Amino acid sequence: MHREGRGSDSHPVHMPLKANLSIKLKIVYENEDVLVINKPAGLVVHPSKPNQSDTLVNGLIAYYPGIKNVGDDPMRPGIVHRLDKDTSGLMVVAKNNTSFEYLKKQFAERKVIKKYLALVHGRVRDEKGTITKAISLSKKSHQKRSALLDDKAKKAWTEYKILKRFEDYTLLETYPKTGRTHQIRVHLTSIGHPIVGDRQYRFKRQPELPGLKRQFLHAAYLKLKLPNGKLIELKSDLPKDLAKSLKGCH
């Protein structure tokens, strides 16, 4: 499953996931096969244990109960790609198993186009670039990833272009071609430009942008062909917190 991209391990679950009506979904597109959500920052995509009820999936089950039977992992019903907890933006969800398999194939074949807005530390030199460093589990923490080439490393590919330069920061549009865990965050840190507000991958003694409470990473664009053959192209504006922080750059 894509996590700024993809992955899929199956975990047996012996109790049903809980529906949570208090989790309001910001739906930007829906038909009989898919939902496209504008995920807010701070919301985890799926539970890590069955009794957890504060995730996007719990909100999905409340909105569309049939989704609990969709997919190959009962903890991640309908989920074909995901965003990190503190990443906001567009995310597509499958409403039935036919669309689940179809979308999974679209992601695997890199036919889904995703673009993210990322504000990074420092002045990026080249107007555009490609990062193809393999990504592996960090040697220091299993919660982190690193651009290390070892026997468990997976190929990863991220392209970027500069949208705006500031004195101490650069606003990038990034295009992940693969979907490794934390891919964009790890890749940008690996070239010396960690995402602003990313506490997990920042360098020591890097200044924080006043008022920014999370990583400046937003899934702003999604283009894909649906199971019915329709091509959709969706955009999401910067959330208020990121737009406000951007005004504080100089």
Question: Known catalytic residues?
Answer: 84
Residue 247 CA to residue 249 CA, distance in Å, equals: 5
Residue 56 CA to residue 75 CA, distance in Å, equals: 11
Residue 73: name the closest of 16, 11, 161, 124 by CA: 11
Residue 249 CA to residue 76 CA, distance in Å, equals: 38
- Residue 209: CB partners within 8 Å, gap ≥ 6? 119, 169, 196, 197, 216, 245, 248, 249
DSSP strands (E only) in the chain = 2-3, 27-30, 34-39, 81-82, 88-94, 113-121, 128-131, 136-137, 145-146, 158-165, 169-176, 217-225, 231-235
Residue 93: name the closest of 16, 15, 169, 1 by CA: 1
> What would the two tokens of residue 88 be?
């906001």
